[in-house]
């Protein structure tokens, strides 16, 4: 077991962290022009092409390095919503194209998506199909050389500014896991409408809106993977998202921990620094404990992805650990700062930005259901194999 990054990854982390601190700070309110300006800077820095092979304009790195870069972005950039948008672009949109796209599709889409010239959005969630993906109602009917899409998508990250949409639709009603197909749809395609941008409690720097498809014709050549292969593509992208995207919260938690330690050493009450009080110091120790535990679980999941693991439990555990730790870190930071913690600032922002982490990429309750089934609980499903610390498997 090696817990150290290689020299190149460490160098990239430091470079990306410094870049994020100096170049990616948000304006405080969402501005599409400013968003795209920073997006291009991130592309020029290589942050959008971490997992894309070099021949298509990316860095060609694996999950561990990609997670390390996301952690550096989360630590350096105080606009967590913007970093979240970067992660959604990379892991929910580019990764499926890398894994399942044809050579022609890769050469057409990946270079501009890596460079920051184009922004991608992933359309999966629907008003009646959030956690229950197989109940989606968006339909894609084959008519000659095109598919005609009809339906709605909700909570689509990046959609107000997106140039490309990776969309899941039903091509075989009642087909279950084999009834979904993935499409790449360009913005401006007739029949595709993007709704108004949501105002959210957290991740405000990440633009989100609904999509609507009304007899939207998509060339059959824009199908990603085979017809009926959409569910497998979705599961693959979610494994990457639940692992690598959530590394941004490790960076946020590390930043909040550092500022909490500094504040506890400076703030004085009753003639002493509040960090001298056990109630405060123990709270900070708990913040550090949760961060380190979540970090180990996430990088273990990333390590598995790099080795071609199909284990779905490790990403689910990592998502659970990181999201819950991020919420607790925000609460702790607010409590440590007292009255200042409920004013506009890093502590309350960290808490607001952490709350959605329990919802997106599959709610934490759904993750627990999936893990329970893997353990042989909650139904008749046999346990899936999951590597233990000793290299054995659950039976």
Q: Are the CB atoms for 72 and 20 separated by under 8 Å?
A: yes
The answer regarding whether domain 7-119 maps to CATH 2.40.50.100 reads: no
From 52, 184, 42, 57, select the one nearest 116 (Cα to Cα).
Answer: 42
> What does DSSP assign to residue 151?
E
Q: Where does the chain hold its CATH 1.20.140.10 domain(s)?
A: 246-374
From 156, 143, 131, 121, select the one nearest 359 (Cα to Cα).
Answer: 131
Q: What pLDDT is recorded for position 379?
A: 61
SS3 state of residue 181:
strand
Q: At what angle do helices 278-306 and 63-76 cross, to 10 degrees?
A: 150
The overall longest dimension of the chain from CA atoms, in Å, is 80
CATH superfamily of 246-374: Butyryl-CoA Dehydrogenase, subunit A, domain 3 (1.20.140.10)
From 163, 161, 147, 167, select the one nearest 212 (Cα to Cα).
Answer: 167
Joined together, the tokens standing for residue 91 give 């892991």
Residues 6 or more apart in contact with residue 292 via CB below 8 angstroms: none
d(CA 72, CA 67): 9
d(CA 86, CA 199): 19
State pLDDT tens for residues 77-129. Answer: 999 999 999 999 999 999 999 999 999 999 999 999 999 999 999 999 998 87
CATH fold for the domain made of 122-232: Butyryl-CoA Dehydrogenase, subunit A; domain 2 (2.40.110)
Q: Which residues are catalytic?
A: 241
Q: What pLDDT is recorded for position 352?
A: 97
From 224, 106, 215, 214, select the one nearest 165 (Cα to Cα).
Answer: 224
d(CA 353, CA 349): 6
Q: What pLDDT is recorded for position 176?
A: 86
Per-residue pLDDT of the chain in tens (395 residues, 90 and over written 9): 788 999 999 999 999 999 999 999 888 788 999 999 999 999 999 999 999 999 999 999 999 999 999 999 999 999 999 999 999 999 999 999 999 999 999 999 999 999 999 999 999 999 887 777 778 999 999 999 999 999 999 999 999 999 999 999 999 999 888 999 999 999 999 999 999 999 999 999 999 999 999 999 999 999 999 999 999 999 999 999 999 999 999 999 999 999 999 999 999 999 999 999 999 999 999 999 999 999 999 999 999 999 998 888 999 999 999 999 999 999 999 999 999 899 889 999 999 999 999 999 989 999 999 999 999 997 644 444 444 433 433 32
State pLDDT tens for residues 315-326. Answer: 999 999 999 999
d(CA 330, CA 201): 14
Q: Note if the pTM is more than 0.85.
A: yes
d(CA 248, CA 256): 13
* Rounded (10°) CA dihedral 156, 157, 160, 165: -70
SS3 state of residue 32:
helix
Q: What pLDDT is recorded for position 48?
A: 96
Q: Where does the chain hold its CATH 1.10.540.10 domain(s)?
A: 7-119
């Amino acid at each position: 077991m090696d817990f150290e990054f290689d020299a190149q990854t460490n160098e990239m982390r430091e470079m990306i962290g410094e870049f994020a601190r100096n170049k990616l700070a948000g304006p405080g309110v969402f501005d599409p022009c400013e968003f795209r300006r920073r997006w291009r800077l991130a592309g020029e820095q290589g942050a959008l092409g971490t997992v894309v092979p070099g021949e298509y304009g990316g860095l060609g790195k694996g999950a561990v390095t990609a997670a390390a870069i996301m952690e550096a972005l989360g630590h350096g950039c105080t606009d967590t919503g913007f970093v979240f948008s970067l992660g959604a672009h990379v892991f929910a949109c580019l990764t499926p194209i890398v894994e399942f796209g044809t050579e022609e599709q890769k050469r057409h889409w990946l270079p501009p998506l890596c460079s920051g010239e184009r922004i991608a959005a992933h359309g999966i969630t629907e008003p009646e199909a959030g956690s229950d993906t197989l109940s989606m109602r968006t339909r894609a009917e084959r008519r000659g050389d095109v598919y005609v899409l009809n339906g709605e998508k909700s909570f689509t990250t990046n959609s107000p500014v997106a140039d490309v949409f990776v969309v899941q639709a039903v091509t075989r009603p009642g087909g279950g896991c084999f009834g979904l197909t993935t499409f790449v749809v360009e913005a401006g395609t007739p029949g595709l409408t993007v709704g108004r941008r949501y105002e959210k409690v957290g991740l405000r720097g990440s633009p989100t809106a609904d999509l609507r498809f009304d007899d939207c014709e998509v060339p059959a050549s824009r199908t990603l993977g085979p017809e009926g292969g959409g569910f497998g593509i979705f599961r693959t992208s979610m494994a990457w998202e639940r692992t690598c995207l959530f590394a941004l919260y490790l960076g946020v938690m590390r930043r909040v921990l550092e500022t909490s330690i500094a504040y506890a050493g400076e703030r004085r009450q009753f003639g002493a620094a509040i960090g001298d009080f056990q109630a405060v110091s123990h709270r900070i120790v708990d913040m550090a404990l949760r961060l380190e535990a979540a970090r180990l679980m996430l990088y273990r999941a990333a390590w598995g992805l790099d080795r071609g693991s199909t284990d779905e439990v490790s990403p689910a555990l990592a998502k659970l650990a990181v999201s819950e730790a991020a919420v607790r870190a925000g609460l702790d930071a607010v409590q440590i700062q007292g009255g200042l913690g409920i004013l506009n600032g890093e502590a309350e922002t960290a808490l607001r930005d952490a709350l959605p982490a329990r919802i997106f990429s599959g709610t934490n309750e759904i993750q627990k259901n999936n893990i329970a089934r893997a353990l042989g609980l909650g139904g008749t499903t046999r346990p899936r194999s999951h590597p233990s610390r000793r290299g054995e498997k659950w039976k």
